Structures are given as C-alpha cells and as structure tokens.
C-alpha cells in the first residue's frame, strides 16, 4: 500500500488537468498523501487507500467553530446539500466535519485528478453556503 501511495503522489506532482489545476502531493508521517490543489491552496486534501478504495478527505471545520445554537441547522443543511455536490459528500469524523470522495482502487490518474480538482472547488462552495452558521 505504501508503494501505491508514493506512486500516486508522484503522478499527482507531475500532472496538470485540462483546466490548468496542478497539485503538490507529499507523503505525511501519518501515512497519508497530503494534496494541495492549485485551485484551493487553503484546504489540503488527505488521500488514503485501502484494498478496495481511494478516499480523499478534506477537513472543513471543527464542531467548536459552529455557532452554538446552529449545530442542528448546520447538520440538516449539510445532509441536504450533500447529494447536490458533484462527486463529493459531506460527513463527520470525530469532531471534524469533512468533505470526502471515494473512488475504486482501480481508478486511473486522469479520473483521480479530476475528482481532487472538483473536491477542492466543492470545498469552497460548501463553506460559502453554510458560512453564516459558523463563528
């Protein structure tokens, strides 16, 4: 799996999409690939792999960053928005709200970069949509 990760990181570092997005991918100490997309350099994407899938995870914000009385409203908003967001879904991990995309392990690099590029865009879209509920 480590080989596959470094191979993917290398491919990402040498690929530019048709829209001109390029990537900076590094292998982290935690065993993930951290990807910074040129179209959104503020929200890095963590990429991990299992035997069957590639997961791309963007950490959006912590529970503590939501206005105290708006948590339920925000949760419903994210559940409703999730199906509308192309290729990415919203979710939660611990006290972090996340945006994530899952791909089959056999996905080729062209599709992977497209997915990451779209996820980087989606991050801005989703955050803009729910910004008023944050601290």
Partner 1 sequence: MSILRNIFQAIKGGASQAGEAIVDSNLIRILEQDIRDDGNAINKAKQSLTNLKSTEINLKRKLESLSQDISDYEGKAVSLLESGNEALATETAERIAEIETDYNETKTEYDVLAKEVTDLNKLIKNRAKNLEKNKRELEKVKTVGELQKASASINNNLASTGSTANSVRDSLARVKEKQQKWKDRQKAGEWMEDESQSSDLDQKLADAGVSGSATSSASSVLERLRSKNTGS
- Separation between Cα atoms, residue 46 and residue 34, nearest integer Å: 5
Which residue among 76, 79, 109, 124 contacts partner 1 (CB under 8 A)?
124
Segment interacting with partner 1, rule: CB under 8 A, options 9-17, 45-53, 81-89, 108-116: 45-53
Site for partner 1 in 4-33 (CB under 8 A): 28-32
- Separation between Cα atoms, residue 25 and residue 9, nearest integer Å: 5
Taking the complex as a whole, the smallest distance from the CB of residue 52 to partner 1 amounts, in Å, to: 5
What angle, 0 to 180 degrees and rounded to 10, lies between the N-to-C axes of helices 109-130 and 2-13? 80
Q: Which is nearer to partner 1, 29 or 69 (CB)?
A: 29
């Amino acid at each position: 799996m480590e080989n596959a990760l470094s191979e993917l990181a290398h491919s990402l570092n040498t690929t530019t999409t048709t829209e001109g997005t390029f990537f900076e991918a590094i292998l982290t100490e935690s065993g993930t690939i951290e990807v910074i997309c040129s179209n959104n350099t503020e929200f890095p994407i963590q990429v991990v792999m299992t035997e069957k899938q590639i997961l791309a995870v963007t950490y959006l914000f912590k529970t503590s960053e939501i206005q105290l009385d708006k948590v339920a409203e925000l949760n419903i908003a994210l559940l409703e928005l999730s199906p509308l967001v192309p290729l990415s879904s919203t979710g939660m991990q611990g006290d972090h709200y996340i945006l994530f995309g899952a791909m089959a392990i056999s996905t080729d690099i062209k599709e992977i970069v497209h997915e990451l590029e779209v996820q980087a865009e989606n991050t801005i879209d989703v955050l803009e949509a729910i910004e008023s509920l944050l601290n």
